[in-house]
Amino acid sequence: MPDVFTQEKRSHVMSRIRGSGNRDTELRLIQLFREHRIGGWRRNRPLFGKPDFVFPKNRVAVFVDGCFWHGCPKPKHSPMPKNRAEWWAAKLQRNRERDLLVTRTLRKQGWRVTRIWECDLAKKANWPRIAGRIVRALERQAPPASCADREPKSKSAKVKVLGQPMASRRR
Ligand SMILES: [Zn+2]
């Protein structure tokens, strides 16, 4: 049975396949962060499900989901290959279940999880809305001032603060 996609269509589909963790989409999101002055993000943090971007202070994890692998709701973005259709259906179903598991697990661990569709990010007209979602997530998870001790440099500052009351009590 021949491939259901024409060569051109197939390469288009395959180009979307790497999706999450794809270099182009990551660079696009970095550009969005820059244009909307969103700072504090990190990459490659060893968290469950490997989020594409993490804001460690605010405990916000961001995933950019590739349309094909993650089952974009727009049907043309996640076309079911007709060849080995059952295998593909099972495979893509497992991916969706995995995404749910990752989101739920991170939420249980106190992370706020934001998922962005690759196709959404591809259109620059959507960027203000996407940036708004991320900013709202960051604001909701904003750490109280006393929790700013996740950065290594403030560890010593905390020790000093703890030392002072002890000294004053002795007087
Ligand atoms: Zn899509």
Q: Which two tokens stand for residue 161?
A: 């603060």
Q: What is the pLDDT of residue 54?
A: 97
Q: Are strands 53-55 and 60-65 parallel, antiparallel or unpaired?
A: antiparallel
Does residue 111 form part of some domain? yes
Number of domains the chain contains: 1
Task: Output the domain CATH number for residue 106.
Answer: 3.40.960.10
What is the whole-number distance in angstroms between the Cα of residue 74 and the centre of ligand 1?
A: 6
Q: Which domain holds residue 64?
A: 7-144
Q: In angstroms, what is the span from residue 147 Cα to ligand 1's centroid? A: 38
Residue/partner pairs of 40-45 with CB below 8 Å, 24 or more apart = 40/138
Ligand 1 centre to CA of 122 (Å) is: 9
> Residue 61, exposed/middle/buried by CB under 10 A (0-12, 13-18, 19+)?
buried
In angstroms, the Cα distances linking 133 to 89, 92, 95, 107, 139 are: 31, 26, 24, 17, 10
- Measured in Å, residue 164 CA sits from the centre of ligand 1 at 56
65 found inside a domain: yes
57: in domain: yes
* 166 is a domain residue: no
Alpha-carbon distances, residue 49 vs 6, 129, 168 (angstroms): 33, 25, 48
As beta bridge partners, residue 114 has: 62
Q: How far is the CA of 15 from the centre of ligand 1 (A)?
A: 13
Residue 167 has a pLDDT of 40
Of the candidates 25, 100, 105, the one whose C-alpha atom is nearest the C-alpha of residue 66 is 25
Gap between the Cα atoms of 30 and 22, Å rounded: 12
Task: Give the predicted TM-score (pTM) of the model.
Answer: 0.72
Residue 154 lies in a domain: no
pLDDT score for 79: 85
CA of 73 to the centre of ligand 1 (A): 7
pLDDT in tens, the chain (171 residues): 455 555 555 555 554 554 445 788 999 999 999 999 999 999 989 999 999 999 999 999 999 999 999 999 998 888 888 889 999 999 999 999 999 999 999 999 999 999 999 999 999 999 999 999 999 999 998 887 665 444 554 444 444 444 344 444 444
| pLDDT score of 75 | 81
Q: Per the domain annotation, does 159 fall within a domain?
A: no
